[in-house]
Amino acid sequence: MSNTVGITAFGSYIPWRRFDRREMAKHTSWYQKAAGASGERAWCGWDEDVLTMAVEAARDCLPQPGTRDVSAVLLASTTAPFADRSGAAIVRQAINASGDSLCLDVGGSYRAGTSALLTALRMSAGQGGQTLCVASERVTSEPSSAEELQSGDAAAAFVVGVGDTVIAEYLGSHSIATDFVDHFRPRDSVVNYAWESRWARDEGVLSLAPAAVQEALKQSDLTAADVDRFILPVPMKGAAASVAKKLGIRADAVVAGLDTVVGHCGTAAPLLELAHALEGLLPGQCVVVASFGSGCDALVLRRTQAPLRAPRRGVSGWLARRTTDNTYLKFLAAREMVHLSGGMRAEFDEKQSMPALWRNQSALLSLTGVRDEATGEVVFPPPAGSRPTEDSFSGVFLADHPATVTTLTADRLAYSLDPPTHYGVIDFDGGGRMTAEYCDVEPGTLAVGSTVRMMFRIKTLDGRRGFRSYFWKAAPELDTSTQEEEDG
């Protein structure tokens, strides 16, 4: 086995819903004219957040079904739903990785995604082992702000390790940490406060990024001419191209970016672009990933000869799995920027019992059912008296099993932030049945016999206490998957 350190697998997640920016701008044009709004942005439904996206991105890069051979999980975000409740631990559990994995949540600035990746690379270089590194962002912006139009929700994930399976070798990096404040968000605020972007571009990006990239290339024994892909996703037009030009990186190496189809996704932006670039990077080609936020990170990677372990969907697959939803009030309500009257049905107290969540953690977070060894029957949720620790029952990780719709309805009476609520009975391939909520359903497209795949979602929002619980929902398997399973 070689000592090559780098990325062994990559994945991503882009929510199903896209908002046409011109349509979004129309909603606030009476108040503020948005110049040059174009393309679309991805957005989370009410039951998606940084953690659900992180889990889906992680699943995208892990074998399905397969073992979760990681010993550490790093989660980068500035918009994690909890200040004190580890998102990395939830991701760890949702992907069914070992409970003794080192789990760490990082944030602090939009640079946290690349810093986490860098940390993962250095961990592998130092002690071996595989680290899952995920960046996920769901920025909440003030209605009518430029940021609201520019942003997008998404996540990206990488497995970092050592050896022959490395597909992108880590060559070098450089980081600059400094208190350049282009935007900030106080602890008690949900939205950012941003300074003039021209200043941020000219004095920030165009000054810090070239220095960081130049040093990273030097550390990697490369020159600007060796760069085949240059990633610097900042929401200022032309900034990446200007930095490339300043450094002597070829103009055609500058990655066009996903701003027009996803939007700027904070900590996840450089990683999402990297995951996208890796889909088409040829062996021997080099990529520079730089990020901007309280300084600048620059990483240099080179595609190895190892066969690509393709993500299940990848950026291209997620981009194809889409619907246009330009319902501005729904968008605002999902981000808790407007309170809609849900009627008295919405007043139901969703207080969760922590002991009950804990007792059922593997069923809830890992969708683990049990197989009755005597009958072979797979049962979910695990029935009373069937703790998987007992010899007569074994755990079955159902999240990666495709399932078939047995019954369904579209319920307009039950309270939901996004009615109707679709749900019904599903049967897993290989056994096991559950009554599941369906998510990402285009009304009228789901039928008895449809194939569905499980997705990690918010189950319950306890608004009164600010708590949320997670569970799995069944999404229609749309015929947009570009790649299936692993190819090598």
Partner 1 sequence: MPKGIKDRVAIIGMGCVRFGERWDMSAEDLMVEAFQESLTDAGISRDDIDAAWLSVGFDSINVGPSGIPAAMALQLDSIPVTKVENYCASGTDAFRGAVYAVASGASDIALAIGVEKLKDTGYGGLPVRSRGTNYDLFGVTGSAPGNFAQLAMAYESKNGVSRRDLKEAMAHISVKSHDNALKNPKAHLRKAISVETVLNAPLIADPLGLYDCCGVSDGAACAIVTTPEKAKELGLDNIVTVKALQLATSNGWETRSSDWDGSYVNTTRVAAKRAYAEAGIENPKESLDLMEVHDCFSITELVTMEDLGVSEPGTAYRDVLSGVFDSDGRLPVQIDGGLKCFGHPIGASGLRMIYEMYLQLLGRAGDRQRAGRVRLGLTHNLGGMPSQSVAAVSIIGRLGD
Q: Which residues contribute to the site for partner 1 (CB under 8 A)? A: 343-345, 348, 353, 356-357, 360, 363-364, 377, 379, 381, 383, 406-416, 420-421, 423-425, 427, 431, 433-437, 447-449, 459-460, 469, 471
| Nearest residue (CB) to partner 1, 36 versus 343 | 343
| Structure-block tokens of residue 417 | 């932030």
Nearest approach, Cβ of residue 377 and partner 1 (Å): 7
| Nearest residue (CB) to partner 1, 227 versus 434 | 434
Backbone angles phi, psi at 184, to 5 degrees: -155, 160
| Nearest residue (CB) to partner 1, 86 versus 469 | 469
| Nearest residue (CB) to partner 1, 186 versus 449 | 449
Angstrom distance (rounded) from CA 274 to CA 134? 12
Query: Torsion-angle region of residue 359: left (phi > 0), alpha (psi -120 to 50) or beta?
Result: alpha
Nearest approach, Cβ of residue 336 and partner 1 (Å): 18
Nearest approach, Cβ of residue 410 and partner 1 (Å): 4
Let me know the angle formed at the C-alpha of 383 by 378 and 384, rounded to the nearest 5 degrees. Answer: 150
Nearest approach, Cβ of residue 363 and partner 1 (Å): 7
| Nearest residue (CB) to partner 1, 286 versus 434 | 434
Nearest approach, Cβ of residue 59 and partner 1 (Å): 20
Nearest approach, Cβ of residue 80 and partner 1 (Å): 23
- Count CB-CB contacts under 10 A for residue 332: 17
| Nearest residue (CB) to partner 1, 160 versus 458 | 458
| Structure-block tokens of residue 113 | 């995604």
| Nearest residue (CB) to partner 1, 69 versus 372 | 372
| Nearest residue (CB) to partner 1, 329 versus 414 | 414
Nearest approach, Cβ of residue 455 and partner 1 (Å): 15
Nearest approach, Cβ of residue 405 and partner 1 (Å): 9
- Count CB-CB contacts under 10 A for residue 195: 13
Nearest approach, Cβ of residue 326 and partner 1 (Å): 23
Nearest approach, Cβ of residue 348 and partner 1 (Å): 4
Nearest approach, Cβ of residue 368 and partner 1 (Å): 12
**Residues β-bridged to residue 289:** 231, 299
| Nearest residue (CB) to partner 1, 381 versus 395 | 381
Nearest approach, Cβ of residue 343 and partner 1 (Å): 6
| Nearest residue (CB) to partner 1, 349 versus 479 | 349
| Nearest residue (CB) to partner 1, 181 versus 414 | 414
Angstrom distance (rounded) from CA 27 to CA 286? 43
Cβ(336)–Cβ(195) under 8 Å?
no
Residue 381: asked if its preceding bond is cis (omega within 30°), the reply is yes
| Nearest residue (CB) to partner 1, 126 versus 383 | 383
